[in-house]
Amino acid sequence: MTDNADLSALIRTIPDYPKPGILFRDVSTLLLDGRGFRQTIDRMAALVAPDTQLIAGIEARGFIVAAGLSYALGLGKLMLRKPGKLPGEKIGIDYQLEYGTDRIELHTGQVKPGQKVVLVDDLIATGGTALAGIDLIRQAGGVVEQALFIVDLPELGGAEKLRGIGVEPTALIGFEGH
């Protein structure tokens, strides 16, 4: 993580959401600030490995970050979607969340074998969604060695789990607590 105090100041904290004791880090306030969002995308784009071929974003806020990075870098964008959103042939994976279970899917044939993909999302907490996204991209034949996030909640251990499977996670901002 680098010092991005200017961006950190634009992220709202909502106490006791979605349950008591949780400090929800709301990036929507950062997205509302045009200059802050542009700086976020520029700083993340500078971190993307030069041999990257595709940017993968996880629905929903990850789509916003991935679209900005795809545009800035001139790379295609892969959408990892929630169930029932993709009309064509697809593969999917079920995974555990901090508060339950979920599923993400992608269209088959969108990732070429050996294609280098960077996974992006707004935030990494326990890592469940990111791990599922990486597994899904790898099942489709992609190579994932890097993941980028606006926010990391290091106490929840998600970034460490990504390192454990050979993916280097980088976040612009870290917040203590969860």
**Residue 59 falls in the annotated catalytic set:** no
Which ranges in the chain belong to alpha helices (H)?
5-8, 28-32, 34-45, 61-73, 128-139, 158-164
DSSP symbol at 176: S
25, 61, 81, 105: which is the annotated catalytic residue? 61
Question: How far apart, in whole angstroms, are the C-alpha atoms of residue 86 and residue 107?
Answer: 7
DSSP 125: S
The verdict on whether 103 is a catalytic residue reads: no
Q: At what angle do helices 34-45 and 61-73 cross, to 10 degrees?
A: 60
The conformational region for residue 84 under phi > 0 = left, psi -120 to 50 = alpha, else beta, is left
Contacts of 21 (CB under 8 A, 6+ apart): none
Catalytic residue among 38, 81, 89, 98: 98
Q: What is the set of active-site residues? A: 61, 98
